[in-house]
A and B are shown apart, each in its own frame.
Chain A
Amino acid sequence: MTNLVPPLVQLDADSKSLRDDVRSFLAAELAAGRFVPRVDSWISGWDEEFSRRLGACGWLGMTIPKEYGGHGRSHLDRYVVTEELLASGAPVAAHWVADRQVGPALMRHGTDHQRRRYLPGIARGETYFAIGMSEPESGSDLASVRTRAVKVPGGWELTGTKVWTSGAQHCRAFFVLARSEPLDPDHRHDGLSQFIVELDSPGIEIRPILLLTGQHHFNEVVLEKVFVPDELVLGRPGDGWAQVTSELAVERSGPERILSSLPLLTSYVEKLVEQPGAEEVRMVGGLVARLLTLRQLSLSIAGGLTDDTSVDVPAAVVKDLGTRFERQVVETVAEHTATAPDPDAVDNLSRLLAEGVLHAPGFTLRGGTSEILRGVMARGLGLR
C-alpha cells in the first residue's frame, strides 16, 4: 500500500481542556473588541499586543524546552492552540514565523548561545523573525539563490537581495539562505548556508512590496556587505539545503494550510442558517467533509513531528490538498452568495469574501507551489 502520511492520531482528553482555555481566551478577546476575524490572519493580522498576550498565556514557543523560556509541550498541543487561533481569524502574523519555524529550527540546528539569545523572546511573543529564502531570480528553484556569503575575519559578509520577506519592517532578525561556496552544477544543493541576520545591521535596506489588498506585509530586503558574526551561523556552514528542506516540511504541514479561509466559511454558514437552500446545504457539507479529513491528515503530521520522522512527502500532500481546499472555500462561497465582496464593508461576510478573493491566489503559491509539491509527492511515489 502507498501510505504517504504517518498514522492518524487521536487527541487525548488533556488537549480538550487546553482547547477550552484557548476558546475562552478568544471569546473574551472578541467580546472586548480586541480583534476582528480575518481571512489569512497569519499573513494579514499583525498585532504585537495580541502576540504578547498569547505569550503571557504560555501559548507561544510551546515546544521549546523550559530552560530556553519555552513550555516543553508537544507538537500536538501546539497544533491545538494554532488551529483555534486560525479558525477564529485571530491576528497571529507578528509571531507566526518565529513561533512556527524559527523556534524549532534553533532547537534543531542552533547553538546554546543562539537559543538563549532568541528563544525566550519568541516564547514571550516579543521577538519576531522573518525568512529569507526567495530572491528576485530564485522562487521555486531555491537552490539557485545568488545571495553570497564571503568568509571574513570573525564572521561572514552577505550580499544579495531577498524578497517576499514577511514583516521584515517589524522583525528583529531573519534567516538568510546564502551561497557560501561557489556553485557546483553537479551538486547544486551543496555549498548553501543559513545565517541569522539582525535586521538593524549596517548595510540592510528594507523596501515594502504591497499585497493585492494594499497591505504592507512583504518586503524586499537588500543586503550590501552585511557582517554576520560566526556565532550567528545556523548549524554548520554548507548544511543550508538540508535545513531549509526540513523547515519547509514543518512550514507546509500545519493548520494554516487548511484554515486560511475558514473565517469566511464560518461567516457564510452563520448567515445560511437563517434560510438554508438544499444546494447550499450540500455544498457546505462537501466542504466540511473535506475539512474534517484534511485536518486529520495535518494532525497526523504533527504526530509525526513528535516522533521525529521525516515528513517532507506527507507535508507536500497536506499542503497540496489543504491549499486547494482553502481556495475552494472562497470560490464556492463566491458562487453561492448574493453578497458582493467589498474589502471595506462593515458586513462581515462581504468583507471576508473580499479578503478571500484577494488572498486566494497566494494560498497555492507560498511555501512551495502546488506544482513543486506534486513533484515531491511523485518522488515519494517512486516516479522520479
Chain B
Amino acid sequence: MTVDQATAMPDAEDLRDLRQLACSILDKYAADALTAPRQALPFDDSLWQTLAASGLTLLSTPMPAGGSGAGIAEAAALISATAEYAAPGPIAETDLLAAWLLTVAQLAVPDGPLTSGTCEVAVSEADGGMVRVAGTADRVPWARDCDTFVVLGSTVAGEVVIRLPADRCSIVPGHNVAHEPRDAVRFDLDLPRESVVPVNSGLAREWLLRGALARSVQTCGAMESALGLTIEHASQRIQFGRPLGRFQAVQHLVAEAAGEVTAARAACEVAVRTAVQDGIASPAGELAVAVAKSQSARAADVVSRVSHQVHGAIGFTLDHRLRHFTLRMLAWRGEFGGARDWERRVGAFALAAGGDLWPLVTSGRPDPAS
C-alpha cells in the first residue's frame, strides 16, 4: 500500500518549464477574473479543463492511476504558480490529497476536481453485502464543485479511505475569509464494500503533512504576488511629490515583508526537497513541513499587514486585486494547522533531542523515536 515516488529532485530547468506552462494558462484566466468586484473567485470549469488537458491536475499521481507520474516537487511548483494567480479550485486537494488517498487505497481516480476531508466515521454492515458509512467532514475545500469526495475516516476498527459520490451526500456551505468554499459534507449511505478501504494508521499524519505543505507553498505564492503588487504600488503612487517607495518608512516596511517572504520561501523549498528525498512522512519530512508551515504562517501576518498598509484604502476594497492574495494567505495560514500547532511539533522534536539541539539543526533529522 505504498506509492512509489521519485527520491531525486527534478532539474531546475524542468521545473521552470512546468512553471511557464502553468503561467501561460493562468495568465489568460487572471486577465479578467481578478478584476471583477466580487468577494469570491468561483470555480472555473474551463480553467480546470485546460489545466487537466495539459496534465497539470494530477501531476504527482502515478501514471497507472491516470496521473502524470511526477513528484511532490513538480506539484509544489504548480500550486505555487496557481496561488500566485489566486486560481480557484481544488488544485492541491485533487492531486496531493484525494488522488493520493485513492491511489494508496487502490481505488480508481475519477476525472474532474476532487476533494478530501477527514472525520470520524460510523461503519456498519448493510443489506446486500453493502457497507453503511455515516459521518460529517467539516470544512472540506471546494466540496460543492466536486463530483467525488475522498474521506479519510477514523473508525473504531482503524482508518478507512472512502470514496463518496457527491450526489448522495448533503453539503452545508461554508467559506474561509478569502471566500473559498469550505463546506461541511454530511453522509449516511450504503456503499459497495470495495469503496471503503481499510488503511494503515500512519495515513492521517501524512494527509495532514501533505495539506500543510500545500498550504505553505500556496501561502508563499500568494505572498509573492502581494509583495509584487506592493512594490509596484510604492513605485507608482505619488504623494508629497514623490513615489511612496522613496520614503524610508515605506522602504523599511517593504523590506521587512520581503525578508519574511524570502525566509518562508526557503523553508518551503527545504520542505519540498526533504519530502522528495526522505519522504514527507519521515521524521525529517515532518520537521521540514512543520518549519515551512510555521514560517509561512508567520510571514503571512507580516506580508498581509505591510501590503495593505502600503496600498492604503484602495487595497481595502473589492476594487483592487490585492485582496485575492492577502485574504488567501490569511486563510491558508491556519488551515492544516497554524503556526502555533506546528511550532509545538518542532519544539517536541527539539526537546526529544535533549542537550543535542545543534545536531538537530544541522542534520534536520530528528530521532525517529520522538
Contact = CB atoms under 8 A, between A and B. Distances in A.
B344 A296 contact: no
Contacts of A291: 361
A290 B296 CA distance: 11
Contacts of B24: none
Most buried by A among B224, B255, B287, B290: B255
A32 interface: no
B348 interface: yes
Interface string B331-347: 00000000110111111
Contacts of A4: 258-259, 262
B261 A2 contact: yes
Interface stretch (A51-59, A198-206, A238-246, A278-286): A278-286
A289 B294 contact: yes
Contacts of B358: 87-88, 262, 266
B42 to A, nearest CB: 27
Given A8-B269, A265-B357, A292-B364, A377 B347 contact: no
Nearest to B268: A293
Interface stretch (B94-102, B181-189, B228-236): B228-236
B227 interface: yes
B252 A374 contact: yes
Contacts of A3: 262, 265
Contacts of A5: 262, 266
Contacts of B252: 371, 374-375, 378
A296 B263 CA distance: 9
Interface stretch (A128-136, A161-169, A267-275, A304-312): A267-275
A382 interface: yes
Nearest to A88: B358
Nearest to B343: A285
Contacts of A273: 351, 354-355
A374 B291 CA distance: 25
A381 B343 contact: no
A286 B234 CA distance: 32
Nearest to A297: B266
Contacts of A320: 255, 259
Interface centre among B246, B340, B343 (most CB of A within 10 A): B343
B351 A281 contact: yes
Contact of B361 (A281, A295, A374, A377): A295
Given A266-B357, A293-B263, A383-B231, A282 B344 contact: yes
A286 B294 contact: yes
Contacts of B124: none
Given A272-B351, A273-B354, A286 B258 contact: no
Given A289-B295, A293-B263, A377-B258, A266 B231 contact: no
Contacts of A232: none
Given A291-B361, A374-B256, A384-B251, A285 B355 contact: no
Contacts of B228: 1-2
Contacts of B362: 19, 83, 295
Contacts of B224: 1-2
Contact of A281 (B251, B273, B347): B347
B266 A286 contact: no
A294 interface: yes
Contacts of B290: 285, 289
B351 A321 contact: no
A10 interface: yes
Contacts of B348: 281, 285
Contact of A2 (B248, B258, B342): B258
Interface in B65-122: none
Contacts of A1: 224, 228
Interface in B238-262: 245-246, 248, 250-252, 254-256, 258-259, 261-262
Contacts of B346: 284-286, 288-289
A321 B361 contact: no
B345 A285 contact: yes
Most buried by B among A4, A300, A381: A381
A165 B273 CA distance: 43
A378 B255 contact: yes
B355 A374 contact: no
A354 interface: no
Contacts of B250: 383
B322 interface: no
B339 A382 contact: no
B267 interface: yes
A383 B235 contact: yes
Nearest to A373: B255
Contacts of B330: none
Contacts of A296: 266-267, 269-270
A65 interface: no
Contacts of B254: 378, 381, 383
A134 B147 CA distance: 68
A297 B245 contact: no
Contacts of A382: 231, 235
Query: Which of B261, B265, B270, B347 has the most chain A CB atoms inside 10 A of its CB?
Result: B347
B350 interface: yes
A347 to B, nearest CB: 16
A188 B345 CA distance: 52
Contacts of A349: none
Ranked 5 nearest A-B pairs via Cβ:
A285-B347, A285-B346, A378-B251, A285-B343, A383-B245
15 contacts: A1-B224, A2-B231, A3-B265, A5-B266, A87-B361, A281-B350, A282-B340, A285-B290, A288-B357, A292-B291, A293-B270, A293-B295, A374-B252, A375-B255, A378-B251
